[in-house]
Structure 1
Amino acid sequence: MSDPIPTRPISKIIIVGAGPSGLLLALLLAKHGIPVHPRAAHYGAPAIPEFVRAGMADRIRERGMVLDTMCWRSSDEGNEYMAGFDAGRVLRRVHVDGVGEVDLRTHCLALQDLDRLMLDEVVERYGGVVEWEHRVVEVGQDGKGAWCEVEVGNGKERKVVRGDYVVGRLCLGMMFPGFTWDEQIIATNTYYDFDGKFGWQDANFIIHPEHFFVAARLTRDGLYRITYGETPGLICEEYLARQPGSLRPSCPATRSQTTTKSPISRPTACTSGGLGITGGFVDVGGLYDCLAGIWDGKVDEYILDLYSEERTEKRVSDKDPKTRFERDQFMQDLMRAETDDVYLKELLMMPMEVRYDFTQHYKEAVREVD
């Protein structure tokens, strides 16, 4: 898809990886008219403005759901409620600069369904090109721009794809340093009536040094994502064999009696509210602002260096949970927020700090003309 305006500073962008972040970036760019060539289930507040800008927020709510309530519970027999909040009280309509009034509650739609929605938008509505069974084996740049050498199909054919920029991570040899917990975390999708039997909320964090877990609603019909700790170093088949016993502490009734469950499960490494895919969506939203600014002549390429610096600076950290309620200020803050909506909104807006407004670096002269 070539650019009909030859004076544009960008003619095409190659996105390596047609996963959720790649597709969201492709959709944002395609809606802006920039030619693109691209190859989790819960999405937190910082990602929602990007869905709004991509025209996907309403469709996600139609096909999925939003989460209002979240709480932290003890690990005793009754999983006693410790602290929590109802985001619906304060996040249904929040003004976000550059976007407008936004429902910032956590949105939920199975990742494969979200990918399908975005893929249809990119290809069918905006004319983006998605090449399947293409594996990038080398990237580079020259005086004419950036390029990818790719293997097609079974690898017998190779070709070179050119563009002004290549967007990716692994293909560019980028490292992803950080801290990895020693524990093995397993995520499994399970039908279990947490709400009807025990009055649990949309998302429930159970605090325990060994049998910690999270139970979060995935669908309206009672499917939950249960994320729990396991013994490290086992193979997939061993985790599957251990799953009934491993899930038992996560389902209150099974502690004294056996309950048949119908799980839709797959063991996988998983974070629990760690802004994983949400952080990815925020990353591509910021990158979109940078590329769109270059495309519109509002900013020079230096903004891409600024993008790298600002996104690298954003960090999320946590501490090992033990006697959490007594010593953790956050738990005390949740108690205060249960009766103070102003303070609750302040708490729930804190994750928005991972966002960064790259449009503030656009050229002022162009802004005035606009």
Structure 2
Amino acid sequence: MADPAEGRPFKKVLIVGAGPSGLLLGVLLSQHGIPVQIVEASHELDQQPRAAHYGPPAIPELARAGVMDLLEKNGGMRLNSMYWRRFEDHTQIAGFDGSVLKDAGSPELTVVSDVRTACLPMQDLDALLLDMFVNKYNGQVSWRHRVTNVSQEDTSAWADIEILEGDLDLAKATVASTTRLEADYVVGCDGANSIVRRSLFGNEYPGKTWDAQIIATNTYYDFAGKFGFNDANFIIHPEHFFMAAKITADGLYRVTYGETPGLTREQYLERQPWKFETILPGHPKPDEYKIINFSPYKMHQRCAPKFRVGRVLLAADAAHLCNPWGGLGITGGFVDVGGLVDCLIGIWDGRADESILDLYSEKRIEKWKTVIDPISSENFRRVSDADPSTRLERDEFMQLLKKSEGDAESTKNLLMGFMDVRYDFTQHYTK
């Protein structure tokens, strides 16, 4: 069998982390014939309720991976209406009908015309991407391979790895052996606590942690049928703010809400029935809804100093973090992946040299600073506003939404502005 890397500028990419960004990166590189290996410390995909909504800027990357063709077959759907609501009676304040993005493709988005937000629980998306990577592209995932350090020299990079056995709990697992895996490039897609990033910068991860506690749940409750809720709903309140957004066609919602910081998981679980009865429409008792997943977490706004140091690269949460209000974390991560894929393909095909990777770092950091960080920060300040009754008169974005109501073209132009988080690296190809 012919070596796919014969005559190419590099031979292999090692991806650390079998989460959504690592798997998407693996699929898109494999599509182009680039040899890829993924290493993952866990024995399985993450099953916690994390991201479920992938915004318009991420849709082109999911489309070229083939995900959008399979979305509905795998229980996914498109999100259309999104509104901000009052806490007292849950009435609408302002919002938009995202169905205007159904045919909003522009010349640069040649792979897709429908850029409406996609909805699919992350564990289901991961399973879909893993199946593609392993079964369609013969990709290799090495499970229970815990990276302890990443290093490099002029001609290669490598990851030092502990191969785990015994208890499936990573904290209790034992080390069966150690090994070193080499590649031309190592890409850290290993999340907020990235070992790859720590290998480069130690504990340096500039930014802040919000003084707020968030609880994410996947919950069945009839928001739409009984209370006329939209596909996605943000309820504004300084203490009882929450989001209820549909994530599957059968009526599963991501319900994310604010809580008192500093309590234990057990205390949050104990408070959950009271919290739902207080904040949700209809003030339901526990027998009126069904919680599938429950996960407390902290919110961060952070960005690594660089996304490229020699042959080691960072993407998604390993590179930057933002709060989840608006979905810019996972969306920005997928846009990172698409940009990095274009840069590596350019090098692989001889249409770009390695300097394009410096441009990847520069431009993706710029997009975090000018788009992701300010917009996501304002999204959280909006939903947790101290004076909800006057938020509309103080909020330029919500005023633009009100002004655009009933005007499809104006709404489309407003929403397409979020595409600014993207950057076309292929314009820098030299051949």
TM-score range, shorter chain: over 0.9
Partner of 1:217: 246
Partner of 2:296: 268
CA gap of 1:101–1:131, structure 2 versus 1, over 3 A, is closer
Secondary structure at 1:95 match in 2: coil
Does 2:44 match 1:16? no
CA gap of 1:98–1:209, structure 2 versus 1, over 3 A, is closer
How far is 1:98 from its partner?
Answer: 5.1
CA gap of 1:350–1:193, structure 2 versus 1, over 3 A, is same
Secondary structure at 2:283 match in 1: helix
Distance in 2 separating the partners of 1:167 and 1:258: 44
Does 2:257 match 1:228? yes
Distance in 2 separating the partners of 1:336 and 1:196: 28
How far is 1:90 from its partner?
Answer: 3.5
Aligned residue runs from structure 1 range 36-51, under 5 A:
36-39=36-39, 40-51=51-62
The counterpart of 1:75, out of the listed 83, 87, 95, is 87
How far is 1:89 from its partner?
Answer: 2.5
Partner of 1:313: 366
Does 2:352 match 1:324? no
Partner of 1:208: 237
CA gap of 1:107–1:90, structure 2 versus 1, over 3 A, is closer
Partner of 1:358: 425
The counterpart of 2:339, out of the listed 249, 271, 286, is 286
**Could you tell which deviates more after superposition, 175-184 or 18-27?**
175-184
Aligned residue runs from structure 1 range 171-182, under 5 A:
171-173=196-198, 174=201, 175-182=204-211
How far is 1:113 from its partner?
Answer: 1.0
Does 2:160 match 1:149? yes
**Could you tell which deviates more after superposition, 213-222 or 90-99?**
90-99
Alpha-carbon displacement from aligned partner over 1:298-332 (angstroms, at most 9, x marks no partner): 00101111111111111322333332111111111
Does 2:111 match 1:94? no
Partner of 1:337: 404
CA gap of 1:258–1:362, structure 2 versus 1, over 3 A, is closer
How far is 1:81 from its partner?
Answer: 1.0
Partner of 1:29: 29
How far is 1:172 from its partner?
Answer: 3.5
Question: Given residue 278 of structure 2, which amino acid in structure 1 is its aligned partner?
Answer: P
How far is 1:362 from its partner?
Answer: 0.3
Alpha-carbon displacement from aligned partner over 1:77-136 (angstroms, at most 9, x marks no partner): x21111111111233442351534421111011111111111111111111111000011
Distance in 2 separating the partners of 1:253 and 1:108: 25
Assess if the C-alpha contact under 8 Å between 1:3 and 1:11 holds in 2: no
How far is 1:218 from its partner?
Answer: 1.5
Question: Given residue 280 of structure 2, which amino acid in structure 1 is its aligned partner?
Answer: C
Assess if the C-alpha contact under 8 Å between 1:134 and 1:150 holds in 2: yes
How far is 1:259 from its partner?
Answer: 5.9
Question: Given residue 313 of structure 1, which amino acid in structure 2 is its aligned partner?
Answer: E
Distance in 1 separating the partners of 2:360 and 2:125: 26
CA gap of 1:98–1:137, structure 2 versus 1, over 3 A, is same
Identity of aligned residues (%): 54
Alpha-carbon displacement from aligned partner over 1:161-194 (angstroms, at most 9, x marks no partner): 1110000043232544323221101111111111
How far is 1:222 from its partner?
Answer: 1.6
Does 2:414 match 1:347? yes
Does 2:69 match 1:58? yes
Assess if the C-alpha contact under 8 Å between 2:57 and 2:418 holds in 1: yes
The counterpart of 1:299, out of the listed 331, 341, 352, is 352
Alpha-carbon displacement from aligned partner over 1:318-358 (angstroms, at most 9, x marks no partner): 33333211111111111111122121011111221111111
Distance in 1 separating the partners of 2:273 and 2:103: 38
How far is 1:249 from its partner?
Answer: 2.9
CA gap of 1:249–1:240, structure 2 versus 1, over 3 A, is same
Partner of 1:120: 131
In structure 1, runs of 5+ residues without a counterpart are: none
Assess if the C-alpha contact under 8 Å between 1:68 and 1:106 holds in 2: yes
Assess if the C-alpha contact under 8 Å between 1:227 and 1:272 holds in 2: no
CA gap of 1:180–1:5, structure 2 versus 1, over 3 A, is closer
Secondary structure at 2:419 match in 1: helix
Secondary structure at 1:332 match in 2: helix
Assess if the C-alpha contact under 8 Å between 2:4 and 2:34 holds in 1: no
C-alpha root-mean-square deviation of aligned residues, in Å? 1.8
CA gap of 1:2–1:117, structure 2 versus 1, over 3 A, is farther
Partner of 1:137: 148
With the length of structure 2 as denominator, give the TM-score of the two structures: 0.80
Distance in 1 separating the partners of 2:211 and 2:149: 33
